[in-house]
Each structure stands twice: as structure tokens, then as C-alpha cells.
Amino acid sequence: MATVSAPAADPAVVAFYSGHPISAAIVLDKLRRARGHVERLRPEDLFAHDQDHYGGLEANDALARLAGLAPGLKLADFGAGLGGPARYFAHRYGVEVTGIELTPARVEGANRLTALVGLSDRVRVLEGDVRATALPSGAFDAVISQEALLHVPERARALAEAFRVLRPGGRLAFTDWIAHRPPSQAEFDLLRQGMAVQPIETMDSYRVALEGAGFAPVAAEDLTRQWAPILAQRLKMYEALRTEALKAGTPAGHDAFYRSYVLLVRLVTEGALGGIRIGAARTA
């Protein structure tokens, strides 16, 4: 295993995801209410509940194509959360997935859900920081991440870490926020308070950072128009989920999260903020 120095974790990120309304507890509560039990679960039984990213299974498939996923390949998921995409990739594409996740509650929840659907032999989520993992160098065929790097300080370190763990020819594929215009200080402060964001990249700054980490070529697709209706729908989902979570006694998110999400929807609809899907390769 690689010897790494551990950077200081952002406590705001851990606090945010420890109280996030999408949790293993609410997923299991929904399944118990629908089925009466959580025995004999299949991976696809979770897919309606555990995909905590923008665009659901279709977004997973787009990244899988960009990363060139195929049976037997080894995939690292940076910012794996509850492991929903990791389980989907293992089940749908036959890959072996190692997820890295900062928040202990999410690591525990991810591995619990994975065990319940019988995928523990192909999916594991480890507690760690994507800027300095303990993963072996050159051990992975692909690295994937979905709307996770927005929480990461020193983002260039995470990109360099992805480069390190990839084999030559391995691929990086990820989605993240981008700024088409910088948010005002008040806007950024609310996004920071509500969703633990770090300063937001632009399309150009991401390209420069990836090239600086050694990746080439870099292909980028602007997802802003696609994300606007997706985020509006997710806001409605979160508002309904908050009520469900309060009734179930599971984490429900804090007020600033919901206020910041209203702001996010507005900024993306206006085209001030948006999304990007990026593919790059380690060539050496």
C-alpha cells in the first residue's frame, strides 16, 4: 500500500453528510414500509433510493461509457457516499469497485447496504480522503466521481491522486459543478454553509488542473442545461424526503441545506452555475 500524508479533513463535509437526508437508515425504512422486511434484497431493489447524484442510472451509464468499464476491470470511486453507483457499476458492468468516502456514517451505511444485496465480494467502501488515499499505485483501470470534488479543498491533490492510482492507459471520468460566472460572496457563503462547498472550478480551470496532473487528452461536456430540470426535481424530492425522514427519525438535513438548494436551482437555471462531465486518460 502507498505511504501517504493525511491531509486535514474538512469537518463541514463530515457534518453535512452525517446529517444528510439520503442515508442508509431512510433507504432501509422505505424498503421496510414497501416490502415489510429487508431480507433477500437484490441490487436493483436499492436503485430507486441509493443514487445520491444528479441524473440517476442514466448518469452512471454515461460515466461508465466514458471510463470504458467492462467485466473484470478495477474501478475506484472517489467520494463514494452510500455506495449506490459503486453497487450499480459492479452489478451492471461486472467491475470490482473500491470506494473512498470521508464520512464515517456513510462508509458504515454503504457497506451495510452492499452486504444486504450480496455484493461485498465486489464492492467495498473505505474511509479516507481522496487527496491522499492508501490505495496502491497503478492498481486501477478507472476512477469515477460524481459531484464530490466540489467538497474537496486542494482539488489538484485529488486529481493527482487519481492519476497515481490509475494504471497507464487508465481513465478518469467524473461530473462536478462549474461556475460560468463567479457566485457573489453572499451566494457562496450560503452554498458553503448549506452544502459544504469549496471554491467552484470553471471549465478552463479544470482543464488546466487535469493537464497539470498529467492527464491527456481531456474531453469535457457542459451539462448545465441538463442539470437545471434535474436539480429542480431533486429539490422537490428533498422537500418530501425531509418530511419522511422526520417521521422516521432518520437524518433530515438542516435548514441551510434546503435554503442553499433553492439558491443552487436558481443559479443553475440562470446559467451562473452548471455542471460538467469530464473524461481523461493517464497516458504514461
* pLDDT tens digit sequence for 128-164: 999 999 999 999 999 999 999 999 999 999 999 999 9
64-86 per-position pLDDT tens digit: 999 999 999 999 999 999 999 99
* Structural domain contains residue 126: yes
Contact 176, 145 (CB under 8 A): yes
Handedness of CA 92, 93, 94, 97 (dihedral sign): negative
30-68 per-position pLDDT tens digit: 999 999 999 999 999 999 999 999 999 999 999 999 999
Model confidence at 2, pLDDT cuts 50, 70, 90, reads very low
Q: How far apart are CA 149 and CA 161, in angstroms?
A: 12
What is the chain's mean pLDDT, rounded? Answer: 96
pLDDT for position 215: 97
Q: How far apart are CA 122 and CA 108, in angstroms?
A: 16
pTM of the model: 0.95
190-245 per-position pLDDT tens digit: 999 999 999 999 999 999 999 999 998 889 999 999 999 999 999 999 999 999 99
CATH number at residue 253: 3.40.50.150
3-39 per-position pLDDT tens digit: 445 677 789 999 999 999 999 999 999 999 999 999 9
Domain that holds residue 180: 11-282
Which grid coordinates belong to 33? Answer: 414500509
For residue 15, CA distances in Å to 33, 34, 105, 210, 253 come to 28, 30, 10, 29, 10
pLDDT for position 1: 44
**Residue range 103-128: mean pLDDT, rounded:** 98
* Structural domain contains residue 52: yes
* Structural domain contains residue 113: yes
pLDDT for position 5: 56
For residue 78, list its beta bridge partners. 100
pLDDT for position 6: 65
Q: Which amino acid is at 26?
A: I
| pLDDT above 60 (res 109) | yes
| Residue in 46, 220, 19, 50 with CA at minimum distance from that of residue 117 | 46
Model confidence at 258, pLDDT cuts 50, 70, 90, reads very high
* Structural domain contains residue 2: no
* Structural domain contains residue 219: yes
Total tally of structural domains belonging to the chain: 1
* Structural domain contains residue 173: yes
| Residue in 228, 237, 241 with CA at minimum distance from that of residue 275 | 228
**Residue range 90-109: mean pLDDT, rounded:** 99
* Structural domain contains residue 6: no
* Structural domain contains residue 4: no
Q: Which residues contact 95 (CB under 8 A, 6 or more apart)?
A: 69, 70, 71, 72, 73, 74, 75, 89, 122, 141, 142
